Amino acid sequence: MIPIRLFSWSIQDPQQPEVDNINSSPRECVSRLIDAKFQQKVYSEILDHQITKEFPPSQDYVKAFLKKYIGFIERDQDEEIDENLLEYYMEMVNTIPNMAGDHGSKDQDQSSYKVYCLDNEQQQRVVLKVTLSMISQGTTGLSVWEASLTLVDYMIKNPDIIRGKIVLELGSGCGLAGLVAAKLGAKKVILTDFNGSVLKVLRHNRDKNQDGKDSLGRDLYGRVSVDELDWAEAERYIARHWSRDDDGGEEMLEENQNELARGREEVAINAVADVIIGSDLVKSNTYDPDILPYLTHVLDKLLINDKQQAFIMSTIRNEDTFRRFKDLMTDKVPDLETSIESMASMPKILCHENSAADVRLISIKRSIAAVTETSASQ
Ligand SMILES: C[S@@+](CC[C@H](N)C(=O)[O-])C[C@H]1O[C@@H](n2cnc3c(N)ncnc32)[C@H](O)[C@@H]1O
């Protein structure tokens, strides 16, 4: 399967391999985008491909794409529309109810699949069941948000931050970032959320992505788990996590419980995860900024030693909310060191719907001084 982003749809983009735009006039580029060979490729490598059949994309999206592409071909006097393409489109027009104007449709709320190819050789991909509406069934977690695409780009560029590590994703939504972490070689990944519908989709997406090998050639099966974690109830989650310790059996379970009763120093021996990741958790206007204290709380509970690190990728839609999160971190959890980096100049690997979005990475660590101080006072 050729990812749709690797076809050269833009006549200005010189980077794409499919059409050599540098030496071609715009007229030549257009004719290559619609010539018979290219049309056949669009049909066989996208529409008729096994992966598209197994994981159907949004039908409205495919219909809109074909309408535009066929219209493009029709404008050219010399080129004919490929028979397979036309037949495919006609069948869609006849079987799928008309789109509700240009302002969305029922399809927006229904699930379809998105396939994310992580490398141009297509060795690694993540398949996700998603809805197209940003808010559906009362939750923001059933669609893929901009910052998760940037977090994926960042992990592909910096795989060492997660390779061989236990990674816990907060507010996973559909699970893109966590599943990519597993594909890139994390030792174990825990996808978490607190919404029932989201957890159901997360389990489905985990099941669809656990066959095969990671990028280090190791089996993926059984390395990704899905857990309910409400940030407001971080302590309960940690206790529950320990009480079903997979590695140490009963002995370890008892030891963990004793340690939990004793406090932070012993807890440090048994951190739930080495790396915490999250995307589009610090936002506003689309949902309640009052969740910010819970987010600082869960980070405080999960980051217990100075070897762990959290990477929270955020789309900045409202500077005030972002500032409020930073202030909360400084006031309530001063032992956590926070650094912020703009992702504006990071090259994009995945296809971003809003590539102009202001996305920033918040890296968080517990300070060495704080850990030493806590140990000394025990
Ligand atoms: C905007 S979505 C982002 C989803 C995903 N990380 C992404 O970037 O595509 C925010 C997610 O945080 C989850 N969430 C919000 N408040 C939460 C809480 N208190 N505890 C756990 N998850 C929470 C929501 O259920 C939702 O899945």
209 pocket-lining for ligand 1 (C-beta < 6 Å): no
Say if residue 185 is in the same domain as residue 316: yes
Nearest to 364 by CA among 144, 152, 170: 170
Residue 67: which domain range? 4-95
What is the CA(291)–ligand 1 centre distance, in A? Answer: 10
The pLDDT of residue 256 is 58
Say if residue 365 is in the same domain as residue 282: yes
Ligand 1 atom index nearest CA of 278: 6
Say if residue 87 is in the same domain as residue 142: no
Residues contacting residue 69 through CB under 8 Å, at least 6 positions apart: 42, 85
The pLDDT of residue 353 is 81
Residue nearest to atom 26 of ligand 1 (CA): 141
* Residue 100 near residue 106 (C-beta atoms within 8 A): yes
Strands 336-342 and 275-279: unpaired
List the CATH number of the domain containing 321. 3.40.50.150
CB count in 10 Å sphere of residue 377:
9
Residue nearest to atom 20 of ligand 1 (CA): 230
Alpha carbon distance 188, 199 (integer Å): 18
The pLDDT of residue 77 is 74
The pLDDT of residue 202 is 97
Residue 329 lies in a domain: yes
Nearest to 314 by CA among 171, 186, 198, 202: 171
Residue 108 lies in a domain: no
Say if residue 186 is in the same domain as residue 332: yes
What is the CA(198)–ligand 1 centre distance, in A? Answer: 9
Q: Which amino acid is at 241?
A: H
Query: Computed over its alpha carbons, how large is the radius of gyration of the chain?
Result: 23
The percent helix, strand, coil of the chain (3-state, each to 5) is 45, 15, 40
185 pocket-lining for ligand 1 (C-beta < 6 Å): no
The pLDDT of residue 267 is 46
- Domain total for the chain? 2
Model's pTM, two decimal places? 0.85
Ligand 1 atom index nearest CA of 283: 1
The pLDDT of residue 13 is 42
The pLDDT of residue 356 is 85
Alpha carbon distance 275, 190 (integer Å): 10
What CA–CA distances, in Å, run from 309 to 77, 148, 327, 339? Answer: 59, 17, 19, 11
First to last CA, the chain: 58
Say if residue 23 is in the same domain as residue 131: no
The pLDDT of residue 245 is 54
173 pocket-lining for ligand 1 (C-beta < 6 Å): yes
Say if residue 24 is in the same domain as residue 132: no
Q: Average pLDDT across each block of 10 residues of the chain; the chain has 378 residues. List them in order.
A: 56 43 51 85 92 92 90 83 93 72 53 90 89 83 94 97 97 97 97 96 96 94 96 90 59 56 52 95 62 92 94 90 89 94 94 87 88 60
Residue 182 lies in a domain: yes
